[in-house]
Structure 1
Amino acid sequence: HGLDRPLPPGRLERFLVVGWDSGVEVVVVLTKADREPEAAVEVAATVRALAPDVDVLAVGMGRDRSGLDSVAALMAPGRTVALLGESGAGKSTLANALVGEEVLATGTVRTGDAKGRHTTVSRELVLRPEGGLLVDTPGIRAVGIWDAEEALARVFGDLEARSADCQFADCVHDTEPDCAVRSEVEAGRVDHRRVDRYRSLRAELVDQREREVDRERRLSRGRRR
């Protein structure tokens, strides 16, 4: 994530669901920390609050490359590291720094809204001289999730734990009576916006399952004709 722009909690949560659902080790790298030192502290605190088990690394992208060694330590012979993030977040610049030469093209960021241009338009696989593979991906504008109930439960583990005290096992924390999660919100112990994001992602997965069942039903009817 580039520190020249805000980090929406919902985007981070979606990335965490995608990462954990794929079975990878997730690390949040905050780029441009040399230019935005205060933002680095604030965003790192936000990430740790949402995902206490995830490592957060801040990296300078200019002459000050502090933190780069910590990212490089993640790479070793036999390991593959994939960089995911928005356009302009500094993924290609970070990849070049990790490899030690300009192997990937880099672009500029619009000053008005900190939006990046799509310099990387396809996945690029790079071999580091010290060992390890690095995958640079195109900038991501939207993050979809699919069949990721277990990862969703992990990202929102705090809400899942509180759900055990809800009256109904299938409580969606909306209008059901005796909802333990809503009680925590009303008491000020849980941010209602986090619950809203959880409900939105959960509804997205339910909708996907229903559409998949409907598709299978139509295919089954077609095969019987």
Structure 2
Amino acid sequence: MQAQPDDLARLRAIGWPDDDTAREALAAAEGVRLARVASQHRTAYDVALGPDDALMKVQPPMPWTRPRFPPDQRAAVGDWVTLDASGRNIVGMLPRRSILKRGAAGEHHRQQLIAANVDHVLVVVGLDQDFNPRRIERYLVLIRASGADPVLVLTKADECDIVDDCVDLLVEVAESGVPIHPVNAKDPASTAVLHPYLGPGRTVVLVGSSGAGKSTLTNTLLGREKMKTNAVRANDSRGRHTTTARVLLPLPQGGCLIDTPGMREVKLSGDEDVADAFEDVEALAMHCRFRDCGHGNEPGCAVRAALDEGVLDEARYLNYAKLRDEMEAAATSQAERKAEARVMGKALNKRLKDKYGRR
């Protein structure tokens, strides 16, 4: 399909990248109008055509509504979709540049899509009892697999007397190339350090625990009180969910932001590569005597030697091992689930053929 320059200018304010890859994908797409998914409901979507336009409720293609349709092939918040002439129905979806997902909370096999086509994932962590380097490492494993770049935003810096000490605990994160920004989420001058990630054609998504300050940060970046905020509990710095659904918001800086509900569980989906977030551990493992070294009692283990010498932080290594095992288990469960679905699909086709003489 072909989009008019004026239409693309409006779309750029809600994250349209307008590069060669995007233009080629748009030219090959069916439909007459391009829109972006701003929020998702049980049986419908709200889509945006520009930063100032009212959201339109549209219906998904029929295959998306079927129970066995793969969830990752349905649109998520941030996806670019094409609409029919009426503007009421989704015709198709453009290829994704990135997709952030996790293992669905409370389930063993399913995946939950968080946001699509984001450039940066802002991990919002409060400098209070919410601060947890091991949980940050878990977020980074998910983000590295998404195709987006992680940025760590440490909120409540104005209330913390040991900001530098907290940042020092994240030396491996910083050395891996992840930007770290301590901020006062209520102060526009402090959060201005994030503006380079928010320009025209760019999209960021906020992730973090309830009470970390995502809604406060969103309001400051928007320059208005858009998102409801609540105080956190004093005993554990936990907050209630003030954001109840993922929603895409245009920003005055020219790009857009996707706010998300707080995550109580950051569960791996099985598509990650833990090594991407633990390059220091993997670099040490390259020097082990045995290629399949388990970093236990094997002779010539470089990882164990680094732990004994204090070169490698033991808590970081234990988290690496935990995440590696969790990722492998999730990948195995996912493969088994796909195999089971194939078997059930073949059995259903056989029953239909036996009953109707066709597939």
Same fold by TM (over 0.5)? Answer: yes
Alignment-derived partner of residue 75 in structure 1: 198
* 1:26 correspondence with 2:176: no
Give the deviation of 1:216 after TM superposition: 4.4
Q: Which has the higher strand share?
A: 2
Alignment-derived partner of residue 115 in structure 1: 238
Alignment-derived partner of residue 45 in structure 1: 168
Rate the CA distance shift 1:42–1:83 in 2: closer, same or farther, 3 A: same
* Structure 1 range deviating more: 135-144 or 40-49: 40-49
Give the deviation of 1:206 after TM superposition: 1.5
- The one of 289, 292, 302 equivalent to 1:180 is 302
Rate the CA distance shift 1:119–1:176 in 2: closer, same or farther, 3 A: same
Give the deviation of 1:188 after TM superposition: 2.1
Q: Which has the higher helix share?
A: 1
Name the aligned partner's letter for residue 238 of structure 2.
K
Which secondary structure does the structure 2 equivalent of 1:27 belong to? Answer: strand
Which secondary structure does the structure 1 equivalent of 2:149 belong to? Answer: coil
Which secondary structure does the structure 2 equivalent of 1:159 belong to? Answer: helix
Percent identity between matched residues is 39
Whole-angstrom distance in 1 between the partners of 2:312 and 2:134: 15
Equivalent residues in 2 for 1:55-134, closer than 5 Å: 55-62=179-186, 64-134=187-257
Name the aligned partner's letter for residue 257 of structure 2.
L
* Structure 1 range deviating more: 74-83 or 174-183: 174-183
Whole-angstrom distance in 2 between the partners of 1:91 and 1:79: 18
Name the aligned partner's letter for residue 172 of structure 1.
G
Name the aligned partner's letter for residue 140 of structure 2.
L
Alignment-derived partner of residue 157 in structure 1: 279
The answer to whether the Cα contact below 8 Å between 2:130 and 2:209 also exists between their aligned partners in 1 is: no
Name the aligned partner's letter for residue 324 of structure 2.
R
Give the deviation of 1:43 after TM superposition: 1.8
In the superposition, the TM-score normalised over structure 2's length comes to 0.58
Alignment-derived partner of residue 208 in structure 1: 330
- The one of 260, 263, 274 equivalent to 1:140 is 263
Name the aligned partner's letter for residue 7 of structure 1.
F
Whole-angstrom distance in 1 between the partners of 2:281 and 2:169: 17
Report Cα offsets for 1:188-223 as digits up to 9, x if no partner: 221222211111111112212322343345456554
Rate the CA distance shift 1:175–1:105 in 2: closer, same or farther, 3 A: same
Name the aligned partner's letter for residue 211 of structure 1.
S
Give the deviation of 1:23 after TM superposition: 1.3
Which secondary structure does the structure 1 equivalent of 2:252 belong to? Answer: coil
Whole-angstrom distance in 2 between the partners of 1:219 and 1:135: 32
- The one of 199, 208, 213 equivalent to 2:321 is 199
Report Cα offsets for 1:139-189 as digits up to 9, x if no partner: 111111233453x21211111011112232222312333221111112222
Whole-angstrom distance in 1 between the partners of 2:133 and 2:144: 16
Which secondary structure does the structure 1 equivalent of 2:169 belong to? Answer: helix
In the superposition, the TM-score normalised over structure 1's length comes to 0.89
Rate the CA distance shift 1:206–1:95 in 2: closer, same or farther, 3 A: same
Q: Unpaired runs of 5+ in structure 1?
A: none
Report Cα offsets for 1:41-64 as digits up to 9, x if no partner: 2222222333321111121134x5
Which secondary structure does the structure 1 equivalent of 2:152 belong to? Answer: strand
Q: Unpaired runs of 5+ in structure 2?
A: 1-124, 351-359
Whole-angstrom distance in 2 between the partners of 1:90 and 1:211: 34
* Structure 1 range deviating more: 183-192 or 19-28: 183-192
- Report the aligned-residue RMSD: 2.0
